[in-house]
Amino acid sequence: VTDWTACPECGLPAEVADRPVLPSTGGAVEHARVCCADQHRFLMPTEQLAVSAAEVGLEAPPEEEP
Ligand SMILES: [Zn+2]
């Protein structure tokens, strides 16, 4: 099963290639290794993934205000 999310950089659909569990300051955290359609690669906590797969491509991702 391939999981999809949105690239944090360009917003294109991104494939979740791996979900390694890595140690962090708060304990072990599940990360997602993603590779987008424009070859951007990221490794980030799964909880920080931009959107769920169902939302990819349906509309522009919301702008995040700081
Ligand atoms: Zn990208």
Query: Is the pLDDT assigned to residue 20 strictly greater than 80?
Result: yes
Neighbours of ion ligand 1 (CB under 5 A): 7, 9-10, 36, 38, 40
Query: How many angstroms does the Cα of residue 3 sit away from the middle of ligand 1?
Result: 16
What tens digit of pLDDT does each residue of 30-56 get? 999 999 999 999 999 998 887 554 555
| Sheet strands (E) in the chain | 3-6, 13-18, 21-24, 27-36, 41-45
pTM over 0.75: no
- CA 7 to ligand 1 center in whole angstroms: 5
Task: Using the mean position of ligand 1's atoms as its centre, give its distance from the Cα of residue 11 in Å.
Answer: 6
